[in-house]
Structure formats: C-alpha cells, structure tokens
Chain A
C-alpha cells in the first residue's frame, strides 16, 4: 500500500535511511525508535512534505507525487506537534477536513469528540483534547491509510484505551492500513501487527509482533549446558544460569537431551525481546 525503496534524506547533520519496507493493507505497523531516530522525518517523507535525496516512495501502486490530490485524499496524517489551527474554533477545523475528504463521516466524528466543545478555539483545548480532536478528524476522514505520530502522547489512561479501541474499529473496515509511531508499548500491544525499529536514522529491523513474544522464555537452569542451546538468544549469569530462548519447544528438547532441569521459567517482556533482536541485528550490520 505504501512502500519505500532505499529512501534517504539528510536534514542538517542528520541522515535518515536508507529505509526500505512494504506496508500491506489490513495491518497496523508500529514505528518504534528513541527521540531523534528519524520517525518524524520518515512520516514527512511518506506524506510528501519532504522529498527523498535518493530512493523511491510508492503509494497505492504509484510513485509519490506531491501534487497528486487523489493520493493525498486516501491518506490522513496526524503529526506529533500540532499547529496551524491554533486560533481557529474547532468547528472551523472540522469544516476544512469535511471539504478536503470526500468520505468524511461527520456523525462518527461527533461520536469521537463527545465532551469536547466545538465552539472553543483549538489552542484553548487541553493537550489531550487537541490530540483527541486531531486523531478523531483523521479517522473520520475515512481514508485508506492513517499515519499517526505519537497519537496517545499526553492522554490519560481512559482516553488512551478509547483511542486504541477507535483505531481498532477504524481498521475493521475494508483493507485499511495504519502506521503508528509510538513510545508506548501498551499501544503496541493493543494495536500493532508488525514492528519497525529506527535508531539514529537507521532502519534496524521489521518484525511481526508475535515473533517478539511467541516462544520466548527466560529459563533458570539447574546446571550450565555445554554449548548454546537450540533457540538460545541470550545468556546471563547472576542468580544461577539464565538463558533466554525464542524457541521454547526446541530448547526444551535440547535440555531434555542434556538432562538439565529447569528451576524457573518466565515470559519475556516485549521490550526485552526487542532489545535482544535489535542488538543481534546491529551486530550483523557493518
């Protein structure tokens, strides 16, 4: 639906890329990376606010052309820093969206904006309300693609849950795709299907989310195995012999062959498995 082929872009001393990916309809992609990793630059490239220095971006089967209205109407973007509407009443911001997007669903929007005074000026809303408003506008636009930069930043836990639910409902209609930059692993858990990691402008990897949890276990062993176990991705010493595996079934067979008992086992948190995968990936990239 949206693809990037060896895309690079330099801004000041910072270089993004090369990034390459192919985002498929029906899936939610989470973009994870520390601040300054290039997430916002990548989004601005995909929206067409920036042009790549090299490489190619394709949207809906055609090369990205900045002035292609047809392509633009099929995509809604919520940036991390909200501005441009500061002094306008919310109702006027709504009017702009209604005119820009042919399938705009006003009834749905009013549902989303429940409790927000539409006569207020945008900059008089709380930070969380501003974010909710922009996200609601993007979803009510009923586009095929949503690009969201930190959509739940500054939002209370209840509103966050509602937002996750709303994004899941958005994804339930047709063959839509969402690409969401987030620092929040709760969002990743509730929404993502595939995880893309950026670090210092480099694309570190793309993993199906369930590959970060399924089969992963941390095992405390009764004695040290003579070699690395099948499925072993990390070994720590400290309180006994601790092995992290990403293929517990294979590891168990191996342990049985060595006659080594498991003292304790624990699920591995997604953030830990992600760290291990990122470090392994970084080791193999020159």
Chain B
C-alpha cells in the first residue's frame, strides 16, 4: 500500500490532563509555529491524517485547525491542504511573551498573598537576575 506525504508532527495528547483535546493540539502546534520549529510554508497533515496519528476524531482536529487559522497562524489553501502561515514578528513575540507574562503575574499574586511589598518583589527579581548573570 502507498504512503503519501504524511508529515508526523511532534504533538502528543494526554488523557491525564484536564485540558480538552483540541486545546492540547492548538497549544502545541501554536508553540511549534511561534518558536519557528515549523517554518512558514511548511505543509501540515490533513485533519484526517492528524486525527489518525493522534487517535482522536476529525471533529477535534478540524476545530483546532479552524482556531489556529483564525489566529492567523496557519493557512488552508482550497484543495491544496494546510500550511504554516507567515507570522509577523510582533505576533510571534506576543505569543512568546504571553506565557512568560502569565507566569510573572501568578508569581506576583503569590508574593502579594505572602505580604511582600512591590519594593521587596523588585529586589527579589533583581537578585535572581544578578545570580543568573554571575552563573552564565
């Protein structure tokens, strides 16, 4: 039997996670695209082939592709499959900064809960950065 162009993406689904399957596909594919692991123009597997590889249904993979298409990260060409879109630098940075900002926000919330002042927090961040710099 023939095998034609099956791009296997480095995506795995976890059933132990409480995140919906389409979100797991979306976030992993988004990460691969904004970090340029998948360059603009890279052909992606069809929703059917991706579903078959991951063991989920095309209902799920179609939803993930639709969402990423709306975000402008992928592009479906009529009759010619789906490719990675040319993502502008500022959007790429936004996606890369987003998760970092969220981690910082949750660290700030934790510090506040522990009663740390802004000044103490700034000092802590400066200290960590200085330690990092001296190590590298």
User: B115 within 8 Å of A by Cβ?
Assistant: no
The residue of chain B having its C-beta at the shortest distance from the C-beta of A249 within the complex is B18
- Interface 9-residue window, one of B27-35, B36-44, B51-59, B123-131: B51-59
How far is A171 from B47 in the complex, measured between Cα atoms in Å?
Answer: 10
- Residues of chain B from 1 to 55 with CB closer than 8 A to chain A in the complex: 1-4, 6, 15-16, 18, 20-21, 46, 48-49, 51-52, 55
Size bin of chain A's contact surface: 35 or more
Of the residues A193, A210, A267, contact of B16 by C-beta under 8 Å: A267
Q: Are B57 and A210 neighbours in the complex by a CB distance under 8 Å? A: yes
- Interface 9-residue window, one of A84-92, A157-165, A220-228: A157-165
Q: CB-CB < 8 A to B6: which residues of A?
A: 165
Of the residues B15, B20, B46, contact of A216 by C-beta under 8 Å: B15
Q: Are A172 and B60 neighbours in the complex by a CB distance under 8 Å? A: no
- Interface 9-residue window, one of A14-22, A74-82, A184-192: A184-192
Of the residues A26, A215, A265, contact of B58 by C-beta under 8 Å: A26
The residue of chain A having its C-beta at the shortest distance from the C-beta of B14 within the complex is A267
Nearest CB on B from A159, distance (A): 8
Q: Are A111 and B55 neighbours in the complex by a CB distance under 8 Å? A: no
How far is A216 from B55 in the complex, measured between Cα atoms in Å?
Answer: 15
How far is A171 from B49 in the complex, measured between Cα atoms in Å?
Answer: 9
User: A95 within 8 Å of B by Cβ?
Assistant: no
Of B21, B57, B60, the most chain A CB neighbours within 10 A belong to B57
The residue of chain B having its C-beta at the shortest distance from the C-beta of A163 within the complex is B1
Q: Are A210 and B56 neighbours in the complex by a CB distance under 8 Å? A: yes
Nearest CB on A from B40, distance (A): 24
Q: Are B49 and A168 neighbours in the complex by a CB distance under 8 Å? A: yes
How far is A172 from B48 in the complex, measured between Cα atoms in Å?
Answer: 6
Asked whether A112 and B57 contact (CB < 8 A) given A172-B46, A193-B51, A216-B15, the answer is: no
Q: CB-CB < 8 A to A248: which residues of B?
A: 18
Q: CB-CB < 8 A to B51: which residues of A?
A: 193
The residue of chain B having its C-beta at the shortest distance from the C-beta of A267 within the complex is B15
Q: Are A172 and B59 neighbours in the complex by a CB distance under 8 Å? A: no
Q: CB-CB < 8 A to B55: which residues of A?
A: 189-190
Of the residues B2, B46, B59, contact of A210 by C-beta under 8 Å: B59
Q: Are B59 and A193 neighbours in the complex by a CB distance under 8 Å? A: yes
Q: CB-CB < 8 A to A26: which residues of B?
A: 58
Asked whether A172 and B49 contact (CB < 8 A) given A166-B1, A189-B55, A208-B59, the answer is: yes
Per-residue contact bits, chain A 140-175, to B (CB 8 Å; 1 contact, 0 not) = 000000000000000000000011111011011000
Nearest CB on B from A105, distance (A): 11
How far is A171 from B46 in the complex, measured between Cα atoms in Å?
Answer: 10
Q: CB-CB < 8 A to A37: which residues of B?
A: none
Nearest CB on A from B26, distance (A): 14
How far is A242 from B1 in the complex, measured between Cα atoms in Å?
Answer: 45
Q: Are B48 and A168 neighbours in the complex by a CB distance under 8 Å? A: yes
User: A4 within 8 Å of B by Cβ?
Assistant: no
Of the residues A27, A136, A215, A266, contact of B18 by C-beta under 8 Å: A215
Q: Are B48 and A171 neighbours in the complex by a CB distance under 8 Å? A: yes
Q: Are B48 and A213 neighbours in the complex by a CB distance under 8 Å? A: no
How far is A248 from B15 in the complex, measured between Cα atoms in Å?
Answer: 10
Nearest CB on B from A17, distance (A): 26
User: A214 within 8 Å of B by Cβ?
Assistant: yes
How far is A111 from B4 in the complex, measured between Cα atoms in Å?
Answer: 12
A-B contact pairs, 11 of them (CB 8 A): A27-B58, A114-B1, A165-B3, A165-B6, A168-B49, A169-B2, A169-B4, A169-B49, A208-B57, A214-B15, A217-B18
**Closest 7 pairs (CB-CB, A-B):** A267-B15, A193-B57, A162-B1, A189-B55, A168-B52, A111-B2, A248-B18
